[in-house]
Structure 1
């Protein structure tokens, strides 16, 4: 219902138009709820992301009605994982199905199109300045350019990523935790194998994933202190990181960065605890940052959107109270994500210790079934890993 041009009433407001926010907004619009999706940035744009959709995500994409739209983007098909330590020791494992490599630039644009087709009102370049509870809902103050607006919604879902937003709900990050820098760039001139690779070195890791059109996405997560002052550009920092692992350094020797695809984010706090609800329900990176070895960030975003939209629908129908929504959603997130999180950090801790990581990798090559089970333990669980 439109009250006036500056004052709107919705069933749901989703704050943040990344993967999780766009998916949860579409899912709720598909169920008939009047939904607004708000983001402070313009789209499409490149974002720091591994750009990897694991086999476990395929059933989720189908459930959200996004499978065909993703396929239309012509993603790369990936069937193996490769881990490479600083000394050159490597472990390669088959995946439990087909994974997809797809850029966030393409993925976000597609998700926005699908959300709008479902009936979502998309507001980008719009800053949320406050979210205030009111009787039977929330009042949201926004600003687009210099124009203030007021949005009212029965429910609000936080999908604003890992960074705390000034004036909005959320805990402050642990100031003593180790800080990382996340960087990414697309490259040509790199052989695009059907493999997602992780190269480890002292102070971080580099991920390599083929995406659409024969392009390769290179991401790096590096310790802030270990690389402070090493390079003034994103591609320079990627080159500095690559020099710490001779295998990836050689792999990128003929790589040519594609202009306009660079992105960075800092600080990244990997030790942030899962938080499914803090005044508002949270989805995607706003809820949880998975360790790199889980390799499942995009799937996690989609799964959290799928779970949250189901509980939100019940709440809006009057079948759940707000406290019941909070309890049941939080329990679901804990049940599905804590296992992969614990295993991911356990394996991550081994990788960060050169002697232990080399011994563990050699043992894994001798017992591939055990290695395969450990890798699966870091991933979301889906009953049917459907082949594409």
Structure 2
């Protein structure tokens, strides 16, 4: 006898979306999260038009609007040599903090009937009698659950319970010269309805408006590019500012908001996908999307909604486990391969010493080129139903 139909490990965007979708379909769903919510995370906090559309389909658009997100209508690239590129978005996007968004999606999963175990660290996942036994540490107690199926949504740096293995394989170059991601909310600056990316030697920094009149400042930095590594998050941001005069001016009057700082390291952008490893892995657990795509949350939502659709068919006996795996892996390959490759190409181009200077005139003298590049990093708008 199973205690639950499905167990989801990780209550971020992908995990909570999965939990709500499956609970809405009537399945007995349990969601494990080892940390407490709400909390701040390193993220661009940019909800693309594609992400907004998927949240609408999930039935949480009013909930998202209640967070009072900022409207974003254009993107702007600012290079250290002084050039600026700007392009309107095809449709308006939203700026909303992960602090608010993750908590809202988790609440929506609970309201749908999902059982949420906060502060519960999964320590082992063991196949047993066409299902799984999950062991989770809750305080000083270890509790076991028997479930029909398991889905991993534990993020980019999550570790497979009971092993020393991580979700996806790392790139050797990035292992030797990894990125660090840092983030802080600030007040005291002004801008229009735009997300701005500032580029400089050793990385880039994004500024986007979020709720309550604040701005998210997040950066992705090569650790080796900063010889004297700062000891604080504010120190990393200050070091980034020193490499782009326009960024230095932009943040000259910025006031960091206490308690909003977060950091993550190492950040591996070139990990090979691993979307099934005994059970499905969604969002960053299975596939890391380069942040330059500006669509990471959208891709996490898309993989979660597709996996929820397949899990529903599997649990209702319409498809086998092998068919679930086949459809899910094919979907990831078809839908996410292109944006991922374009994101990695753009990442490489920006980091090359000369290419950014060549890119600017190409974009300026080729009408629509920047919009086409942005479109290449976006998901295709296709149905999630599998026939």
Q: TM-score by structure 1 length?
A: 0.94
Paired position in structure 2 for 1:70 = 64
Q: 2:124, 2:227 → 1: CA distance?
A: 34
Question: Residues 249-301 of structure 1, C-alpha deviation per residue, up to 9 Å, x if partnerless?
Answer: 11000000000000011111111122221212011110222112210011111
Q: Is the 8 A contact 1:179 1:223 kept in 2?
A: yes
Paired position in structure 2 for 1:4 = none
Paired position in structure 2 for 1:5 = none
Paired position in structure 2 for 1:24 = 18
User: Equivalences for 1:344-383 in 2 at 5 Å?
Assistant: 344-382=343-381
Q: Which secondary structure state, in structure 2, belongs to the residue aligned with residue 184 of structure 1?
A: strand
Q: 2:110, 2:158 → 1: CA distance?
A: 27
Q: Is the 8 A contact 1:192 1:215 kept in 2?
A: no
Paired position in structure 1 for 2:206 = 207
* Structure 1 residue 342, shift from structure 2 partner: 1.2
Paired position in structure 2 for 1:173 = 170
Question: Residues 137-169 of structure 1, C-alpha deviation per residue, up to 9 Å, x if partnerless?
Answer: 110111011111001111110000111425246
Q: 1:383, 1:253 → 2: CA distance?
A: 44
Paired position in structure 2 for 1:244 = 243
Q: Is the 8 A contact 2:96 2:210 kept in 1?
A: yes
Q: 1:52, 1:368 → 2: CA distance?
A: 25
Rate the CA distance shift 1:176–1:374 in 2: closer, same or farther, 3 A. closer
Q: Which secondary structure state, in structure 2, belongs to the residue aligned with residue 26 of structure 1?
A: helix
Paired position in structure 1 for 2:330 = 331
Q: Is the 8 A contact 1:192 1:216 kept in 2?
A: no
Q: Is the 8 A contact 1:164 1:172 kept in 2?
A: no
Question: Residues 71-90 of structure 1, C-alpha deviation per residue, up to 9 Å, x if partnerless?
Answer: 11110010101111121211
Rate the CA distance shift 1:171–1:19 in 2: closer, same or farther, 3 A. closer
User: Equivalences for 1:1-388 in 2 at 5 Å?
Assistant: 9-165=3-159, 167-168=162-163, 170-171=167-168, 173-174=170-171, 176-177=173-174, 178-227=177-226, 229-382=228-381
Unaligned runs of 5+ in 2: none
Q: 1:175, 1:127 → 2: CA distance?
A: 29
Rate the CA distance shift 1:52–1:117 in 2: closer, same or farther, 3 A. same
Q: Which secondary structure state, in structure 1, belongs to the residue aligned with residue 368 of structure 2?
A: helix
Q: Which secondary structure state, in structure 2, belongs to the residue aligned with residue 122 of structure 1?
A: strand
Q: 1:191, 1:42 → 2: CA distance?
A: 32
* Structure 1 residue 327, shift from structure 2 partner: 0.6
* Structure 1 residue 100, shift from structure 2 partner: 0.3
Q: 1:221, 1:171 → 2: CA distance?
A: 20
Q: 2:369, 2:203 → 1: CA distance?
A: 25
More displaced stretch, 84-93 vs 305-314: 84-93
Q: 1:192, 1:276 → 2: CA distance?
A: 39
* Structure 1 residue 232, shift from structure 2 partner: 1.2
Q: Is the 8 A contact 1:192 1:214 kept in 2?
A: no
What root-mean-square deviation, in Å, do the aligned CA atoms of Structure 1 and Structure 2 show? 1.6
Q: Is the 8 A contact 1:164 1:171 kept in 2?
A: no
Q: Which secondary structure state, in structure 2, belongs to the residue aligned with residue 323 of structure 1?
A: helix
Q: 1:378, 1:176 → 2: CA distance?
A: 23
Q: Is the 8 A contact 2:11 2:154 kept in 1?
A: yes
* Structure 1 residue 175, shift from structure 2 partner: 5.1
* Structure 1 residue 192, shift from structure 2 partner: 3.8
Q: TM-score by structure 2 length?
A: 0.94
Q: 2:67, 2:217 → 1: CA distance?
A: 19
Q: Is the 8 A contact 2:20 2:109 kept in 1?
A: yes
* Structure 1 residue 212, shift from structure 2 partner: 0.5
Q: Which secondary structure state, in structure 2, belongs to the residue aligned with residue 244 of structure 1?
A: coil
Q: Which secondary structure state, in structure 2, belongs to the residue aligned with residue 32 of structure 1?
A: coil
Q: Which secondary structure state, in structure 2, belongs to the residue aligned with residue 112 of structure 1?
A: helix
